[in-house]
Amino acid sequence: MTKPRVLIAEELSPATVEALGPDFEIVECDGADRASLLPAIADVDAILVRSATQVDAEAIAAAKQLKVIARAGVGLDNVDIKAATQAGVMVVNAPTSNIVSAAELAVALLLASARHVVPASTALANGEWQRSKYTGVEVTDKVVGVVGLGRIGVLVAQRLSAFGVKLIAYDPYVQPARAAQLGVRMVSLDDLLAESDFITVHLPKTAETIGLIGDAELRKVKPTVHIINAARGGIVDEKALYDAIVDGRVAGAGLDVYAKEPCTDSPLFSLEKVVATPHLGASTDEAQEKAGIAVARSVRLALSGELVPDAVNVQGGQLDEVIKPMLPLAEQIGSLACGLADSAVSRVTVEALGEIAEHDVRVLELSALKGVFQMLVHDPVSFVNAPVLAEQRGVEVSLTTDRTSEDHRSLLRVTLTQTDGSTVSVAGTVTGAKDVAKVVEVDTFDVDVPVSNHMAFFRYHDRPGVVGIVGRSLGEADVNIGGMQVSRDDSGHALIVLTVDSAIPADRLESIVAEIGAHSGKAVNLR
């Protein structure tokens, strides 16, 4: 069996390759060199990059079998997520790999700014001993304003609390009770600007946060304030900050990020009161290793056909342990329902019933949709592009939950509405210690049949001898029956559900339908 090919386009830690393991063929190229990248990406299943490689629409179009783009880091500025999604390519990163490194750098910049570490060091290197010139301030008992109390903001707050500071924060998405547990008082941005002796920024870069701290905001701060930005460039307006420092309205700044990078000519670099580093937030051996290992694990999951819940272009929510056994079932019954449909599908309805309804089941909707479209299109269908395919074809998708399930602890039902208004429905569950997937309902018929790669369904008017005819005919075609069940309703109609070891030839299927006078006969092959 051919091993999946993984392209490493930039230098990554040895631990990354080790985390991938021996199940993959590793190829390498210089991702920053387009002439090297484009031919190298053409026949690989995954690509691992950092920040120098531009995985844009052109590169994605050149990748004929690409399934995963993995960025060993936090940002995704160098990946065209829209083009990847359209192509059904999963995009993953390592959002938590550098949070400790970034938090520690923010604290380092804050302390360096408070004590004039950089200009004092530079002066000493130049043969100058100037103790009085570089008198700083203590952090203890000062008010530290944290702008953005996410994962990194929390780590910064926790570390600074050891210095005996008073912590306040601005973050419209954090509840005051949660902040109070951390010893942080939530305030408005205006109050934070007015009260803080140190302001440290930990927000993502969005349309709403660009220029959040600009000229107007910097006129509300204490003249003794120090401003730290180790998050994203542009959140603090650099020109406004320069003017405020020159005018004496801001005492100092510590910067690791800039509006345009690489940046080597900012006027801020000329000021002694500014400590500046070249975007070193993630530049630790530990962060690089964590990032590489994290995305390697995501690549392994993705290339084995499993969902990566934190993929940036997969809207499935977190994958709860209770939900995991239902994930392949959702895809299977989605495919079975589609295989039983007689006309085009206009709507897909997914119902999660019973105990699973207590959890986040959005991923089951996604998996069911993947199963449906695998039966409808010739192109590869993934967790990524299944919603795109539905949107392109005008197929409505809905998910409902109900904690009540009469006959099963957990039940998943997929109902397809066809363009003529008729519906077809298949429901399933998992049972036993081995989580065996079973079909338990086909439209109005109750059944109990393990899911198989090859299944057949015959609807007919119940009468003696039909089962024998089906068995004989399949035997003549050398198709072995793994299991069979007959379900009947009150109107005299019956449904035979078969699991077989191989696909039933089309002409044999037609022959059986004619011989038993079936209302319908469908063979569904899941693989």
Helix (H, G, I), strand (E, B) or coil at 39: helix
Asked if the bond preceding 262 is cis, omega within 30° of 0, the reply is: yes
Q: Where are the domains of the chain?
A: 5-93+286-303, 99-276, 326-525
Rounded CA separation 329/9 (Å): 36
- pLDDT tens-digit map of 202-213: 998 888 999 999
pLDDT reported for residue 46: 96
pLDDT reported for residue 28: 95
Q: Is 257 left (phi over 0), alpha (psi -120 to 50) or beta?
A: beta
SS (H, E, C) 339-392: HHCCCCEEEEEEEEEEHHHHCCCHHHHHHHHHHHHHCCCCCCCCCCCHHHHHHH
pLDDT reported for residue 310: 67
The CATH superfamily assigned to 5-93+286-303 is NAD(P)-binding Rossmann-like Domain (3.40.50.720)
- pLDDT tens-digit map of 215-235: 999 999 999 999 999 999 999
pLDDT reported for residue 155: 97
Query: Which of the residues 11, 208, 261, 476 is marked catalytic?
Result: 261
What average pLDDT does range 39-52 have in this prediction? 94
Whether residue 459 lies in the annotated active site: no
Is residue 176 within 8 Å of residue 192, measured between CB atoms?
Answer: no
Query: Which of the residues 226, 232, 300, 359 is marked catalytic?
Result: 232
Sign of CA dihedral 31, 33, 38, 42: negative
- pLDDT tens-digit map of 22-33: 999 999 999 999
Beta bridge partners of 482: none
pLDDT at 1 exceeding the cut of 70: no
Cβ-count burial of 218 within 10 angstroms (0-12 exposed, 13-18 middle, 19+ buried)?
buried
Measure the CA dihedral 336/337/341/344, to 10°.
-110
Rounded CA separation 174/193 (Å): 18
pLDDT at 295 exceeding the cut of 70: yes
CATH of domain 99-276: 3.40.50.720
Cβ neighbours for 49, distance < 8 A, ≥ 6 positions apart: 9, 10, 31, 55, 69, 70, 71, 72, 78, 79
Between strands 481-488 and 493-500, the pairing is antiparallel
Percent of the chain exceeding pLDDT 90 equals 79
pLDDT reported for residue 316: 61
Rounded CA separation 126/114 (Å): 21
Whether residue 232 lies in the annotated active site: yes
pLDDT at 455 exceeding the cut of 70: yes
Rounded CA separation 162/450 (Å): 59
Rounded CA separation 81/61 (Å): 13
pLDDT reported for residue 317: 58
Rounded CA separation 189/142 (Å): 18
Q: Give the CA angle between residues 521, 524, 527 to the nearest 5°.
A: 165
pLDDT at 305 exceeding the cut of 90: no
pTM of the model: 0.67
- pLDDT tens-digit map of 132-168: 999 999 999 999 999 999 999 999 999 999 999 999 9
Q: Is 362 left (phi over 0), alpha (psi -120 to 50) or beta?
A: alpha
Fold agreement between 5-93+286-303 and 326-525: no
- pLDDT tens-digit map of 76-113: 889 999 999 888 899 999 888 899 999 999 999 999 99
Query: Which of the residues 5, 279, 297, 362 is marked catalytic?
Result: 279
pLDDT reported for residue 319: 66
Whether residue 321 lies in the annotated active site: no
Is residue 440 within 8 Å of residue 429, measured between CB atoms?
Answer: yes
- pLDDT tens-digit map of 378-420: 877 888 888 888 988 999 999 999 999 888 999 999 999 999 9
What average pLDDT does range 339-364 have in this prediction? 93
pLDDT reported for residue 170: 97
Q: Does domain 326-525 have CATH number 3.40.50.10330?
A: no
Which of 98, 71, 69 lies closest to 289, judged by CA?
A: 98
Is residue 452 within 8 Å of residue 498, measured between CB atoms?
Answer: no
pLDDT at 266 exceeding the cut of 90: yes
**Distant-in-sequence contacts of 441-448, Cβ < 8 A, 24+ apart:** 441/413, 442/340, 442/487, 442/495, 442/497, 444/489, 445/487, 445/488, 445/489, 445/495, 446/487, 447/485, 447/487, 447/495, 447/497, 448/485
